[in-house]
Chains A and B, each alone.
Chain A
Amino acid sequence: MKDPLDNAPLFVFLDPKGRRWPRLRRLLVLLGVLVFLAVVLFLQALFVNPQLRLPASVRRMKGQLKAIEQQEARKESAAEKATDESWRKFYPMTATGQERIAKLREILHPKPQKFSEIRLGFYTNWDPNAFESLEKHADQLTHVCPDWMTLTDGLGTLKVDGDPRVQRLAAAKGLVLMPLLTNEVDDAWSPEAVEGLAMGSDDQKNAFIVNLLAQLQAMKAGGVVIDWEEIDPQRQKDITDLLIKMADALHAVDKELWVEIQMSDEFNVLDLERLAEHADHYIAMLDDETSETDPPGPIASQDWFEGWLHTLAGYGEPDLWIGTIGVYGYDWSSGRKTAKMITFGDAMSRASYAELPRVDSQAPMYNPIYSYQDPQHDHTVCFLDAVTFLNELRAIRAADLGGIAIGRLGQEDPQIWDVLGFKDTDNVTPEELAELDHMKSSDMVTNVDEGEAITVDDTQEDGRRTVKLEKNGRYTVEYSPDFPRYPTIFHYGSGGEHQVALTFDDGPDPKWTPMVLDILKKYNIKATFFLVGSQAEQYPNLVRRIVAEGHLIGNHTYTHANLAAIPGKQVELELNATQRLIESITGRSVTLFRPPYNADSSPSHADELEPLEKVHDMGYEIIMENIDPEDWARPGTDVIVDRVKELRRDGSLILLHDAGGNREQTVAALPQIIDWLQTRGDTIVPLSTLLHIPYNELMPPVDSDPVTLLVAGSGFMIWHWTVEFCWAFMIAATALIVLRTILVAVLAARHYRRERKLSEDAPYTPPLSVIIAAYNEEKVIAATLRAVTDTDYPGEFEVVVIDDGSQDQTVREVEKAALTDKRIRLVRQANGGKSEALRTGVAHSVFDTLVFLDADTHFDRRTFGELVKPLRDPKVGAVSGHAKVGNLRTFIARCQSLEYICGFNLDRRAYAQWNCITVVPGAVSAIRRSALEEAGGFCLDTLAEDTDLTLCLHKADYRVEYSSGAIAWTEAPESARALTRQRFRWAFGTLQCLWKHRDMVFNPQFGALGWFSLPSVWFFQIILVALTPVVDGLLIISLILGGWSAMWFYVLIFLVMDLILAVLACGLDGDKLYKSWIILPMRIIYRPLLSWVIWKALYRASKGAWVTWHKTERTASMPVRAA
Chain B
Amino acid sequence: MKRALALTACALAFAACSRQPAAPPPPRGPEKLLVPEKGAYTGAFIDFGDTEDDVTVEGIEAFEKMVGKHQAIVASSSYWGEQCFPTANLLCIWRHGSIPLVYWSPWDRPYDEDQGPDKFSLVNIAAGKWDAYIDHWGDAAAAFGHPFMVSFANEMNGQWFPWSGMFYGQDKVIPGTKPPKYVAPEIFKAAYRRVVDRVRARGATNVVWVFHAMNYSMPQAMGGAYPAAMEWNKMGQYYPGPKYVDWLGMSVYGQQYVEDNWSPFEPLLDWPYTEITTMEPNKPVMLAEWGIGEFPQFGSKSGFITEAFNVMKRYPKLKAAVFWNERWQNEPSYDDNGIYHDGGYSDLRVNSTPASLAAYRKGVGEPFWLGFPLIGH
Chain A residues engaging chain B, CB cutoff 8 angstroms: 89-94, 153-155, 186, 191-192, 195-196, 199-200, 232-234, 265-269, 510-511, 519, 522, 538, 645, 649, 664, 671, 675-676, 678-681, 723-724, 727-728, 731, 1038, 1043, 1046-1047
Contact = CB atoms under 8 A, between A and B. Distances in A.
Contact of B342 (A186, A266, A724): A266
B342 A675 contact: no
A195 B293 CA distance: 14
Contacts of A234: 258, 344-345
Interface in B1-50: 1-5, 7, 10-11, 14, 18, 21
B327 interface: yes
Interface string B324-365: 000100001010011111111101010111100100000000
B96 interface: yes
B95 interface: yes
Contacts of B4: 727
B205 interface: no
A172 B125 CA distance: 74
Contact of A233 (B7, B327, B339, B344): B344
Given A154-B353, A266-B342, A681 B2 contact: no
Interface string B164-185: 0000000000000000000000
Contact of A679 (B3, B14, B96, B337): B96
B88 interface: yes
A contact patch SS: helix
A356 B338 CA distance: 46
A232 B345 contact: yes
B256 interface: no
Nearest to B87: A681
A680 B352 contact: no
B124 interface: no
A200 B95 contact: no
B3 A232 contact: no
Given A265-B342, A268-B341, A522-B21, A199 B353 contact: yes
Contacts of B3: 1046
Contacts of A90: 339-340
Contact of B337 (A93, A192, A269): A93
A265 B57 CA distance: 31
Contacts of B95: 675, 678-679
B57 A679 contact: yes
A232 B347 contact: yes
Contacts of A1047: 2
B1 A538 contact: yes
Given A649-B58, A724-B1, 4 more contacts: A195-B294, A233-B344, A727-B4, A731-B5
Nearest to A646: B58
B351 A192 contact: yes
Nearest to B61: A645
Contacts of A1046: 2-3
A676 B96 CA distance: 8
Nearest to A519: B21
Contacts of A186: 62
Contacts of B327: 191
Given A93-B338, A265-B332, A681-B92, A1038 B2 contact: yes
B340 A200 contact: no
A680 B2 contact: no
Contacts of A92: 337, 339
20 contacts: A89-B339, A91-B339, A93-B339, A153-B354, A154-B351, A155-B354, A196-B354, A199-B353, A200-B353, A232-B347, A233-B342, A233-B344, A269-B342, A510-B7, A679-B91, A680-B58, A681-B91, A723-B1, A723-B2, A727-B2
Given A192-B353, A234-B258, A681-B91, A728 B1 contact: yes
A728 B5 CA distance: 10
A519 B340 CA distance: 59
Nearest to B338: A93
Closest 10 pairs between A and B when the two form their complex, measured CB to CB: A89-B340, A679-B95, A1046-B2, A234-B344, A154-B354, A232-B345, A680-B57, A724-B1, A196-B353, A681-B88
Contacts of B91: 679, 681
Indicate the member of B61, B340, B342, B345 with the most A CB atoms within 10 Å: B342
A186 to B, nearest CB: 8
A680 B92 contact: yes
B2 A1043 contact: yes
B354 A94 contact: no
A1038 B58 CA distance: 47
Given A196-B353, A199-B296, A510 B11 contact: yes
B257 to A, nearest CB: 11
B277 interface: no
A195 B341 contact: no
Contacts of A679: 57, 91-92, 95-96
Interface string B77-97: 000000000001001100110
Contacts of A199: 296, 353
Contacts of A155: 354
Nearest to A511: B11
A247 B344 CA distance: 25
Interface in B40-71: 56-58, 61-62
Nearest to B60: A679
Nearest to A93: B337
A123 B294 CA distance: 36
A90 B337 CA distance: 9
Contacts of A680: 56-58, 92
Contacts of A728: 1
B341 to A, nearest CB: 6
A67 to B, nearest CB: 35
A627 B259 CA distance: 47
B339 A268 contact: yes
Given A199-B353, A511-B7, A727 B337 contact: no
A292 B339 CA distance: 27
A94 B5 CA distance: 88
A522 B5 CA distance: 30
Contacts of A681: 57, 88, 91-92
B354 A233 contact: no
A781 B91 CA distance: 102
B58 A671 contact: no
Interface in B72-116: 88, 91-92, 95-96
Contact of A94 (B337, B340, B351, B352): B337
A197 to B, nearest CB: 8
Nearest to B11: A511
B85 to A, nearest CB: 14
Indicate the member of A154, A200, A678 with the most B CB atoms within 10 Å: A154
Contacts of A678: 95
B96 to A, nearest CB: 5
A266 B344 CA distance: 11
Given A233-B344, A681-B92, A511 B352 contact: no
B92 A195 contact: no
Contacts of B338: 93
B55 to A, nearest CB: 9
A359 to B, nearest CB: 35
Interface in B132-182: none
A90 B95 CA distance: 49
A192 B340 contact: no
Nearest to B58: A645
Given A675-B95, A724-B1, A233 B341 contact: yes
B347 to A, nearest CB: 7
Contact of B340 (A265, A675, A727): A265
A390 B251 CA distance: 57
A510 B7 CA distance: 9
A673 to B, nearest CB: 12
Nearest to A681: B88
Interface in B203-224: none
A555 to B, nearest CB: 23
Contact of A671 (B11, B21, B334): B21
Contacts of B343: 233
